[in-house]
Amino acid sequence: MHIAIAGNIGSGKTTLTQLLAKHYKWDQLQEAVDNNPYLFDFYKDMQRWSFNLQIFFLNSRFEQLLEIRRSGRNVIQDRTIYEDAYIFAPNLHAMGLMTTRDFENYFRLFENMDNAITPPDLMIYLQAPVEKLVKQISERGREYENSISIDYLKRLNERYEAWVQTYDKGKLLIIDVEDNSFHNNREDLGRIINKIDAEIHGLFPMDDEAKGLEKAAPRNKAKKAAKKVVKKK
């Protein structure tokens, strides 16, 4: 089973990846951030390092997908190869931060990779307004993210919303995280897990009221059965 978590910068992908991996006792594949040789330079000079950064991420994600297929393990993956190709790289090109020549070269490489990979069994998209993203980026305090502009986040959000509307690689679960504190609220996390279980096991998630009705049903049946026995006597 391969579950992938997609979402804008600061949406909570890494945290949810860790929590779900712990819950299901599955392996987790984190985004290559700490060992990324281009990330700090990119945020200082996006135009100079955009192509290098995107190629690094593309290759890193491709390696992860090959490893998932080779190992056959159950995996939760933090961010996907599709976000690189359909959101981040096109956004950099549209902003004039990646040349057309580099972008076309990049996208041809992605298309070749796309023909060789298997999409996730379930894609989870963490949907969040820019205000929420800014708040969470600020709270985690990564130095290299201090230069991220609100305009940049808005552009990415617009592309995410457009991409998710056309996603057709497999099952898709959209989680609105604006009022969801899954990182420190067990009930919020539980609701997400119920929705995931419904997708991967083909079950219908139930709210508290429905669960109460389900528990009451056997007792009601028992009462009716007892009444029938009394009538027969």
**Cα–Cα distance measured from residue 209 to residue 186, given in angstroms and rounded to the nearest whole number:** 19
Q: Say how far residue 134 (Cα) sits from the centre of its chain.
A: 18
Grouping H, G, I as helix, E, B as strand and the rest as coil, residue 149 is: coil
Catalytically annotated residue among 27, 45, 78, 188: 78
Grouping H, G, I as helix, E, B as strand and the rest as coil, residue 181 is: coil
Torsion of CA 7, 166, 176, 22, to 10 degrees: -50
Is residue 114 flagged as an active site residue? no
Contact yes or no for 120/2 (Cβ under 8 A): yes
Query: Residue 123: how many CA atoms within 13 Å on its side-chain side?
Result: 22
**Cα–Cα distance measured from residue 3 to residue 18, given in angstroms and rounded to the nearest whole number:** 12
Catalytic positions, please? 78
